[in-house]
Structure 1
Amino acid sequence: MALVYRGPAAYPGCPEAVAALLSGAPTGFRVQFCGPDEHVRLSADTLAEATVYAQPGGGEARSAWRSLRAHSDDIRAFVNDGGHYLGFCLGAYLAGGGPGFGLLTDVAVESYVRSAKASVRGTDSTVVGVTWRGQRRHMYFQDGAHFRLQHDTPATVLATYDTGAAAAVVTTCGAGRVGLVGPHPEADQSWYTNGVANPDGIRFDLGHDLIESTIR
């Protein structure tokens, strides 16, 4: 089972897109939403029944943290004990510790648009170019993260931005694994509005690669 957070710490449409991505992944997931207004609440008991916990995109990290802070110990214990965490955009920021779940020790999560020589400077929705496993691709993007890894960090970099900064990584946390992505590989056609278009078309293979690389 994959638990997908849906609640005030996520924007409408983001949990549903992550759920669809998980449902369509090569590994067959039964997806369940969890959150304060869902039939299933986020707790240690519900996490114990899951293989994956996914934190979708949303707004500002500090605001989201106020809704999620009470669950941080349960999520950290779930991953440390062998669970898998997937963080998309805001969910990637929240994997860190400023503020966040504290799942990362040798990986810093920072804003890409504020990094040196970033190809995107604003926070409006756009498309960003990345190199994913050596191939040039494009992804939906809105103020996503990049990741700074210490030299000996046991992590796999799946994708980089044009600056060489990591755009998607998989790393470890205790006995568990953490998959993080700054852009949005889950974005479906409905996300592309106001002239924003993906030259690659709407494809979900990059998101599936992130999922499968995290759980293997």
Structure 2
Amino acid sequence: MATGGIGRLLAAARRVTAGRNLTVRSPLPPSPYPPVALVYRGPATVPGCPEAVAALLKSSRWGFDVRYVGPDEVLPLSRQALAGAALYVQPGGGSLKRGYRHLKRHRDEIRQFVHSGGRYLGICLGGYLAGATPGFGLLPGDTDQYVGSAGATVDSEEDTVVQVSWCGRWRTLFFQDGPYFRLRPDADAEVLATYLNGAVAAVVTRFGDGKVGVVGPHPEATDDWYLDAGLRVPDRLGVDLGCDLLDEVMRP
């Protein structure tokens, strides 16, 4: 995939949020039942990623009823399953080519779900899959490898850490060949985080009546991810940033 110019990335960001005190409301009508969040678990991900995302969802203010979907789960990924959900989450995983091969038959279902008012949260591979080459085509632009971008601070596809500026705060997050997001200059998008070279690391945008939130690094990573990779555990894990992204996705 060709690497776009970083200057265009900065021009594409409609605004970078530098701190918010928002009243977050659900996109769903009031209900005595918790909103349903579907988390993909299957061959387009790797063990640990869906479970870490599920833990992040459960730690959020939303009180989600988290359900796994996939070919070997009790609940398959389908139009019917999506119809009862408020949020669909695509976790991290392996390569984009392999992931899309397993999920391309669900492309239209996921696009219709979001376009009709649903929410999509994509982390690492889930961020790549929100793009277009290949992917679900949910973004006003596309994705590419951060390690191949001009001035990238990471040059390996191995497990490592990366620094990002998240709403003006510098944080260290777990990273494994995650994307950056190439937005069109006219994109109506809220950039939450950038890498050190200015490339977009986390962004929220609309798709039809729904919203899409994507992030390149792994804010959901637990301390064992770092330890298993021989990395120093940062002073503060990124769960609060993941919840911040989730709040922006769920906000009307």
TM-score range, shorter chain: over 0.9
Tell me the distance in 1 between the aligned counterparts of 2:209 and 2:90: 19
Question: Cα deviation per residue 1:161-205 (whole Å; 9 max; x = unaligned)?
Answer: 000111000001111100000000010112112421233332410
* CA shift for structure 1 position 75: 0.4
Aligned partners of 1:108 and 1:171: how far apart in 2? 12
Structure-to-structure mapping, 1:1-216, within 5 angstroms: 1-104=36-139, 106-192=140-226, 193-216=228-251
Give the partner amino acid of 2:80: D
* Paired amino acid for 2:92: G
Identity %: 55
1:149 deviation in Å?
1.6
Return 5+ residue gaps in structure 1 as ranges. Answer: none
Larger radius of gyration: 2
Maintained 8 Å contact 1:2/1:51: yes
Tell me the CA shift for residue 56 of structure 1: 0.4
- SS of match in other structure, 1:200: coil
CA contact (8 A) 1:89 1:144 kept: yes
Higher relative contact order structure (alpha carbons within 8 Å, sequence separation ≥ 6)? 2
For 1:206 and 1:137, the matched residues in 2 are separated by 9
Q: Counterpart amino acid of 1:153? A: A
Q: Secondary structure at the match of 2:214?
A: strand
Q: Where does the alignment leave 5 or more consecutive residues of structure 2 unmatched? A: 1-35
- Secondary structure at 1:146's aligned position in 2? strand
Q: Quick check: 1:127–1:198 contact (8 Å CA) kept in 2? A: no
Q: Structure 1 residue 40: deviation in Å? A: 0.4
Question: Which amino acid in the other structure matches residue 86 of structure 1?
Answer: L
Structure 2 residue identity aligned to 1:115: S
For each residue in 1:58-110, what CA deviation from the matched residue of structure 2 results, as whole angstroms up to 9, or x when unmatched?
01111111111111110010000000000000000001111111112x22211
8 Å Cα contact 2:173-2:238 kept in structure 1: no
Q: How many residues align?
A: 215
CA distance in 1, matches of 2:90, 2:238: 21
Query: What is the TM-score of this pair, normalised by structure 2?
Result: 0.83
Residue identity matched to 1:149: L
The 8 Å contact of residues 44 and 94 in structure 2, kept in 1 or not, is answered as yes
Cα RMSD of the aligned pairs, angstroms, is 0.9
Q: TM-score with structure 1 length normalisation?
A: 0.97
